[in-house]
Amino acid sequence: MLTSALDGIRLSIHILAATIWVGGQFTLAGLVPALRSAGEGVANIAARAFAKLSWPAFAILILTGLWNVATFKMNQTTTAWKIVLGVKLLVVALSGSAAYIHTKAKSPRQNAIWGSISGTTAAASLILGVFLAG
Ligand code: HEM
């Protein structure tokens, strides 16, 4: 059965934003060695340019995520679904917080730790979202 046009738009925007927030972090991480070898500061310039895309994408994920939740009739969802949603919200909050702390990191070690927490929790949010969608 085809999904309705409005549901298709809602989920497509949510998923498009997820590709930027999640896929962008992995892509940037993979490009960092090449950017570093291109010159001092190049990786930082690329990271700042990515932030101009990734933070709006994160905001869109929250807005369309709320829209997703609003389409579900809570009394018709299972306890397991609600638990997965709760865990997803915690993981989303962690992903955003870790990404923010990552931008303020004072050492390469902190940078690597918070960057990997942000990427891992972003991927976990995506996986939990797939389970929510059923
Ligand atoms: C890092 C942030 C997020 C990522 C990467 C993400 C990713 C995803 C993905 C990939 C799906 C699966 C769509 C599908 O398979 O059709 C999904 C579904 C869903 N997401 Fe998110 N999401 C994020 C944030 C949020 C937030 C903040 C909320 C709630 C406020 C939310 C609520 C939902 C719900 C309820 C679904 C199921 C939608 C449906 O089946 O109609 N998401 N998410």
What's the pLDDT tens digit per position in 68-127? Answer: 999 988 788 999 999 999 999 999 999 999 999 999 999 989 999 999 999 999 999 999
Question: Is the CB of residue 121 less than 8 Å from the CB of residue 94?
Answer: yes
Atom of ligand 1 nearest to the CA of 69: 35
Which of 84, 88, 118 should be mutated for ligand 1, with most atoms under 8 A from CB? 88
Cβ 14 under 6 angstroms from ligand 1: yes
Whole-prediction pTM: 0.95
The H-or-E segment that residue 125 falls in is helix 108-133
**Number of other residues whose CB lies within 10 A of the CB of residue 78:** 8
**CA dihedral over 40, 46, 49, 55, signed as positive or negative:** negative
Burial class (CB in 10 A: 0-12, 13-18, 19+), 32: middle
In the numeric block, which tokens belong to residue 24? 């962008």
- The answer, yes or no, to whether any atom of ligand 1 lies below 6 A from the CB of 22, is yes
* Atom number in ligand 1 closest to CA 89: 27
pLDDT in tens, 32-58: 999 999 999 999 999 999 999 999 999
